[in-house]
Chain A
Amino acid sequence: MTRSDAQALIRSLRSAYAATPKNLKIIDLYLAFSVSSALIQVIYMAMVGSFPFNSFLSGVLSCVGTAVLAVCLRIQLNKENKEFKDLAPERAFADFVLCNLVLHLVIINFLG
């Protein structure tokens, strides 16, 4: 694979991505935020050791959990997804909010 092929690939991906609806792009951005948050915590733990372990887990799983929920929301909101054609986007969003709140209750409890 030559360099120009890679560049062409990236260009086509970028243009295809530009076509996605805005709300999905917001969710993607949220995902990037959450994953990078998790990564920073893992790097920190790698540097200073895993004490206290419960706090580390809590932090990382908070990020990972919210990322997973965001992915679920994205799947439900994506119009091209035939499975969730009849689901109202507001309903999906309400689920997302509720699940996040429950997740964060548990996370805060485990944070210590």
Chain B
Amino acid sequence: MADRRSMPVSLLAIIATLSIGNVVAASSVVHPVSDPHRSAAVELFTSAGRSLSLEETYEALRTFEVLGIGKAELRSDGCSSVLDVLKLASSSPKELYYALKVNQLSKCSSERAVFEVAASRLKAALSDVSSLLDYHYSVGGLVLIKDLSPDVDVALTDAKGTFQSIKALSQSDGRWRYGSNNPESSTYAAGVALDTLAGIVKLEDSEIGSSMISAVSNDIKKLFDSIEKYDDGTFYFDEKVVESLEYRGPLATSSVVVVGLSSFASATSEKIDIPGEVFSGLAKFFLAIGVPGDSKDLFYQINALACLEDNRVSIPLILSLPATVLSLSKKDQLKVRVTTVLGANSPPLKLKLRQALKSDSADISVIDSQELKHDSSGGFYYLDVLPDSIDVGKYKFVFQILLEDPEHKKSYATGGRIHVPIYVSGVVIVENAVISVLDSDLGTVDTQKKLDLDKQNDISLSANHLQKLRLSFQLSTPRGLAYTPHQAFLRLKHETKVEHIFVVGNSGKQFELVLDFLRLVEKFYYLSGKYELELAVGDSVMENSFLWPLGYIELDMPEAPEKAPRPPPVAADPHSRFEVKAEIQHIFRAPEKRPPEALSLAFLGLSFLPFIGFLGGLLRLGVNLKNFPSSPVPATFAFLFQVGIGAVLGLYMLFWLKLDLFTTLKVLGLLGTFLLLVGHRILSHLAATSAKMKSA
């Protein structure tokens, strides 16, 4: 039973998820920071299993502070290491900076003496600084000391000079370099630089002139010109060069730039000319991540959102919907929430639903612009009843936030026209379902049965190949309009499990399928017999999608001719393709048959026989060594000649047994030369001797 339903249902599921996925990519709905973030924060920051470094402790404390989680969740608040670092004379500016940051959040110590030591250390570091990050840690540390212990002297010796040397590292496109000997410019560095410059302004407000500040504003403007954008209005920052070792990813880069911008904006009263939609887009970027899985990513996200929440330029407002699927049958209400990024209440505003665009006609709105009512107890906006023109289907609702107070309009970013994908589901009415067998020539009805498509049916029909099968029904939406579902299939399955699927076409409300068996005889592989009928009608927004067995039809097909195609073999078990397959026995080449050893040995002996015969024959002939030279010199040469030949033959034996050709040829060269010389001597001597004898 599960098998028969599984295929169309799984197809349905796949199509549904694909279509939802497509729609979501076009304009995503984000949700503000909420409890999942809080529980993730607790889990990520306390699951390290080792003691956190000062930087990690600071990140944890800052995230907990923004999310409103108690510090007790962290096992240690880092105070002991903070005090150690502050007192140590050899602490680096980076360590001092993070120790002071943790101190600010944990309130470990407020002893003036400790801070004086740290302040003098940081000021000394400033005079010896080489890179942007060193500036950042020193200046940032001094700002923290000033906040915690205002009577400690944190005055910079040359604030203007420091400001200008940081500004000198800026590039023409608004990015910053990390140091004067580092040619690569980085967006992350720009964020760090802005934060540092803001710190200098906080320390020595009077010394930094407005011209210098407006120069930095220009850099900010250029930096924001290079912001990257997705089609749905999300903005983010990323590095131009992603292969560098310093690359930290768009989340970290965007977060640091947002932090830098907001601290610069709050430190100076300079007007920052960045449109509100950029802030909305950045908020969307950070919120669209959802809940990050890494503690550092969570810190970057939450820290950036906290800066967006109360920045001086433009606070983004987030529109979120608890449910994007509305059911007509359950009379669901459209509910919308408008909050800040951290989930706090928005200022008083009006929320208007401007348009409802149907997915297939994306320009025409099916409703007029209307205002949503506000439920102040629940804090959301709602439409009590969906307009009549909203029918079953996929829509894009276009919202617009209108702030009531003109002052708020300057400080909040509403995000313009917000497109939200909405599914309106409902019960599709199925009626007048009839299945009949028609005689092909005249079109007269042979048998006709009514179907009730609210449940399984059990009709039985019979037809031969000269007749036709006709199935018809009507579909209409709850509002009475015609509706075309995503899937409308009729499946015929033979006893031998061979199946055929046909799409039921429609014109308006009327769905009809005519199967002309005369034409389908070959497609059915000439198989006669009982065919199970099944009808599947479904769509992602149809609440009553169904897959009903209808019954059986007994088909009488003619005999299959010789050349007819055979039906494809159907596996007995559809999961058999995943079973363990038979083991393949490897057949190696059969080794050649070798003769029995005894035979080989016999022939070995036999092959020596001719040689023995040769020796015997030589003896019989009376072979003698009379011609062997008697005098010593020729005798040695003669002897050497024989030895030489024997050596060459011995070399050949060695060659056969183990040497390779190259070694052999090398040795043969030597032996051959020797043999040639010796042979020449002895043979010329013999020739001379025989010539003498002849002449004598």
Which residues of A are at the interface with B, using a C-beta cutoff of 8 A? 22, 25-26, 29-30, 32-34, 36-37, 40-41, 44, 47-49, 51, 88-91, 93-94, 97, 101, 104-105, 108-109, 111
Residues of chain A within 8 A (CB-CB) of B214 are none
Task: State whether A25 and B621 are in contact (beta carbons under 8 Å apart), knowing that A33-B611, A33-B613, A90-B687 are contacts in the complex.
Answer: yes
Q: Are B592 and A51 in contact (CB under 8 A)?
A: yes
Residues of chain B within 8 A (CB-CB) of A26 are 618, 621, 623
A41 to B, closest residue via Cβ: B607
Question: Which of B247-255, B289-297, B649-657 lies at the interface?
Answer: B649-657
B595 within 8 Å of A (CB atoms): yes
Residues of chain A within 8 A (CB-CB) of B600 are 48
A22 to B, closest residue via Cβ: B621
Task: State whether A36 and B613 are in contact (beta carbons under 8 Å apart), knowing that A44-B603, A47-B595, A90-B686 are contacts in the complex.
Answer: yes
Q: Are B679 and A104 in contact (CB under 8 A)?
A: no
Residues of chain B within 8 A (CB-CB) of A47 are 595, 599
* Neighbour of B610 across the interface among A37, A44, A88, A97, CB < 8 A: A37
Q: Are B609 and A49 in contact (CB under 8 A)?
A: no
Residues of chain B within 8 A (CB-CB) of A51 are 592-594
Q: Are B668 and A105 in contact (CB under 8 A)?
A: yes
A-contacting residues, B668-696, CB 8 Å: 668, 672, 679-680, 683-684, 686-687, 690
Distance in Å from the Cβ of B242 to the closest Cβ of chain A?
Answer: 61
**Given A40-B606, A90-B683, list of 5 further CB < 8 A pairs?**
A22-B622, A49-B593, A90-B686, A105-B668, A108-B653
Q: How far is the CA of A19 from the CA of B664 in the complex (A)?
A: 44
Residues of chain B within 8 A (CB-CB) of A33 are 610-611, 613-614, 617
Q: Are A48 and B599 in contact (CB under 8 A)?
A: yes
Task: State whether A91 and B610 are in contact (beta carbons under 8 Å apart), knowing that A44-B603, A48-B595, A111-B656 are contacts in the complex.
Answer: no
Q: Are B614 and A29 in contact (CB under 8 A)?
A: yes
Residues of chain A within 8 A (CB-CB) of B661 are 109
Residues of chain A within 8 A (CB-CB) of B593 are 49, 51
Residues of chain B within 8 A (CB-CB) of A90 are 683-684, 686-687, 690
Distance in Å from the Cβ of A107 to the closest Cβ of chain B?
Answer: 8
Task: In the A-B complex, list the 9 residue pairs whose CB atoms are closest, starting with the nearest.
Answer: A48-B595, A33-B614, A90-B683, A36-B610, A51-B592, A29-B617, A90-B687, A108-B652, A33-B610
Q: Are B683 and A94 in contact (CB under 8 A)?
A: yes
Distance in Å from the Cβ of B649 to the closest Cβ of chain A?
Answer: 7
Task: State whether A109 and B683 are in contact (beta carbons under 8 Å apart), knowing that A49-B593, A51-B592 are contacts in the complex.
Answer: no
B366 within 8 Å of A (CB atoms): no
Residues of chain B within 8 A (CB-CB) of A108 are 652-653, 655-656
Which residues of B are at the interface with A, using a C-beta cutoff of 8 A? 592-595, 599-600, 603, 606-607, 609-611, 613-614, 617-618, 621-623, 645, 648-649, 652-653, 655-656, 661, 664, 668, 672, 679-680, 683-684, 686-687, 690
Q: How far is the CA of A97 from the CA of B679 in the complex (A)?
A: 10
Distance in Å from the Cβ of A87 to the closest Cβ of chain B?
Answer: 11
Residues of chain A within 8 A (CB-CB) of B668 are 105
Residues of chain B within 8 A (CB-CB) of A49 are 592-593, 595
Residues of chain A within 8 A (CB-CB) of B690 are 89-90
Q: Are A37 and B655 in contact (CB under 8 A)?
A: no
Q: Are A37 and B656 in contact (CB under 8 A)?
A: no
A63 to B, closest residue via Cβ: B610
Q: Are A40 and B603 in contact (CB under 8 A)?
A: yes
Q: How far is the CA of A29 from the CA of B680 in the complex (A)?
A: 26
Q: How far is the CA of A104 from the CA of B610 in the complex (A)?
A: 19
Q: How far is the CA of A26 from the CA of B611 in the complex (A)?
A: 13
A94 to B, closest residue via Cβ: B683
Q: How far is the CA of A90 from the CA of B685 in the complex (A)?
A: 10
Q: How far is the CA of A13 from the CA of B592 in the complex (A)?
A: 48
Q: How far is the CA of A36 from the CA of B618 in the complex (A)?
A: 16
A50 to B, closest residue via Cβ: B592
* Neighbour of A105 across the interface among B595, B652, B680, B686, CB < 8 A: B652
Q: Are B607 and A40 in contact (CB under 8 A)?
A: yes
B668 to A, closest residue via Cβ: A105
Q: How far is the CA of A48 from the CA of B679 in the complex (A)?
A: 42
Q: How far is the CA of A88 from the CA of B607 in the complex (A)?
A: 34
Distance in Å from the Cβ of A9 to the closest Cβ of chain B?
Answer: 23
Q: Are A91 and B607 in contact (CB under 8 A)?
A: no
Q: How far is the CA of A108 from the CA of B683 in the complex (A)?
A: 27
A52 to B, closest residue via Cβ: B592
Q: Are A29 and B618 in contact (CB under 8 A)?
A: yes
Between-chain CB contacts (< 8 Å), 6 pairs: A33-B611, A37-B607, A40-B610, A90-B690, A101-B672, A109-B655
Residues of chain B within 8 A (CB-CB) of A30 are 614
Residues of chain B within 8 A (CB-CB) of A37 are 607, 610-611
Residues of chain A within 8 A (CB-CB) of B622 are 22
Residues of chain A within 8 A (CB-CB) of B617 are 29, 32-33
B689 to A, closest residue via Cβ: A90
A112 to B, closest residue via Cβ: B656
Distance in Å from the Cβ of A63 to the closest Cβ of chain B?
Answer: 9
Distance in Å from the Cβ of A7 to the closest Cβ of chain B?
Answer: 23
Task: State whether A93 and B683 are in contact (beta carbons under 8 Å apart), knowing that A36-B613, A105-B668 are contacts in the complex.
Answer: yes
Distance in Å from the Cβ of A34 to the closest Cβ of chain B?
Answer: 8
Distance in Å from the Cβ of B545 to the closest Cβ of chain A?
Answer: 72
Residues of chain A within 8 A (CB-CB) of B653 are 108
B606 to A, closest residue via Cβ: A40
Q: Are A32 and B607 in contact (CB under 8 A)?
A: no
Distance in Å from the Cβ of B22 to the closest Cβ of chain A?
Answer: 69
| Residue of A29, A36, A104 with highest tally of chain B CB at under 10 A | A29
Task: State whether A91 and B683 are in contact (beta carbons under 8 Å apart), knowing that A40-B606, A44-B603, A47-B595 are contacts in the complex.
Answer: yes
Task: State whether A104 and B656 are in contact (beta carbons under 8 Å apart), knowing that A29-B621, A90-B683, A91-B683 are contacts in the complex.
Answer: no
Residues of chain B within 8 A (CB-CB) of A89 are 687, 690
Distance in Å from the Cβ of A79 to the closest Cβ of chain B?
Answer: 12
Q: How far is the CA of A89 from the CA of B691 in the complex (A)?
A: 11
Residues of chain B within 8 A (CB-CB) of A101 are 645, 648, 672
Residues of chain A within 8 A (CB-CB) of B664 are 105
Q: Are B618 and A94 in contact (CB under 8 A)?
A: no
Residues of chain A within 8 A (CB-CB) of B683 are 90-91, 93-94
Q: Are A104 and B621 in contact (CB under 8 A)?
A: no
Q: How far is the CA of A91 from the CA of B618 in the complex (A)?
A: 23
